[in-house]
Amino acid sequence: MVRWYQVIEEMISDTLRNAEEKMRISLGGLKKELSTVRTGRAAPALVEHIKVEYAGVPTPLNQIAGISAPEARMLVIQPWDKSGVHNIEKAILQSDLGLNPSTSGDIIRINIPQLSEERRQELIKAVRRRVEERRIAARNLRHEAMNELKGLEKDKEISQDEHKRALHQLQQLTDLIMVGIEQIGQDKEVELKEV
């Protein structure tokens, strides 16, 4: 037999679990998004999202080629289909990364130049903008969960005390996610400031 308090706890935990899942997805998205921001160091994540025209379909580069960073300032791209070399080279040149690929046979090499101080500052501003967007998204997710909890209280499905306790748990979760967002942003800024 299910007790009424178990049903109440389940409703509250469903709301909190849903909010946490969405916040964590947003956090992971930020980490992935910032991995594509160019630093002075070579990383496959820098180019793997670039869309390349392959068989008439825009396809992410990492699905049609192997990408590696054998040196700190060099990326090597080896297409699985050798006929795609020209399209890959063209897509890299058209991207907003400012990279200049050089091809030798069926291997594409990209030297990652040092960032100028001006470009470094622009990238830091872009990182801060993206971090702020994720903070706003986390606050919006918190607001949605608060409204759900308020609806449960209004419909007399949970008591005032249970509502307050759930709001406290929600705030703790949000604070934890905000710390994670800040840390990801700070780590990327440190990476960008390295010369």
Whether 97 and 143 share a structural domain? no
What's 52's domain CATH number?
3.30.1360.40
Whether 125 and 30 share a structural domain? yes
Distances (CA, A) of 50 to 61, 81, 88, 127, 153: 6, 17, 9, 19, 48
Question: Which segment, 11-15, 109-113, 132-136, 162-166, is predicted with the most confidence on average?
Answer: 132-136
Whether 126 and 166 share a structural domain? yes
Which of 84, 111, 138 lies at the terminal end of a domain, its last residue?
A: 111
* pLDDT tens per residue across span 9-63: 777 888 889 999 999 999 999 988 887 776 667 778 888 888 888 888 888 888 8
Whether 107 and 154 share a structural domain? no
Which of 80, 96, 111 lies at the terminal end of a domain, its last residue?
A: 111
Q: Residue 97 pLDDT more than 80?
A: no
Q: What was the pLDDT predicted at 7? A: 64
Report how many domains make up the chain: 2
Q: What was the pLDDT predicted at 1? A: 42
Closest to 89 (Cα-Cα) out of 73, 104, 68: 104
Whether 87 and 105 share a structural domain? yes
Q: Which domain holds residue 91?
A: 44-111
Which of 111, 130, 148 lies at the terminal end of a domain, its last residue?
A: 111
Whether 121 and 77 share a structural domain? no
* pLDDT tens per residue across span 51-96: 888 888 888 888 888 888 888 788 898 988 888 888 888 888 888 7
Instruction: State how beta strands 57-60 and 65-71 pair.
Output: unpaired
* pLDDT tens per residue across span 122-147: 888 889 999 999 999 999 999 999 99
Whether 72 and 131 share a structural domain? no
Report the pLDDT averaged over residues 143-171. Answer: 89
Give me the amino acid identity at 191: E
Whether 31 and 121 share a structural domain? yes
Whether 98 and 149 share a structural domain? no
Question: Which segment, 32-36, 82-86, 182-186, 189-193, is predicted with the most confidence on average?
Answer: 182-186
Distances (CA, A) of 28 to 134, 163, 177, 184, 191: 10, 29, 11, 10, 18
Does pTM surpass 0.75?
A: no
Query: For residues 91, 63, 29 and 121, what is the CA-based torsion angle, rounded to 10 degrees?
Result: -30
What's 142's domain CATH number?
1.10.132.20
Whether 51 and 77 share a structural domain? yes
27: tokens are 């956090």
174: tokens are 């949000």
Whether 51 and 93 share a structural domain? yes
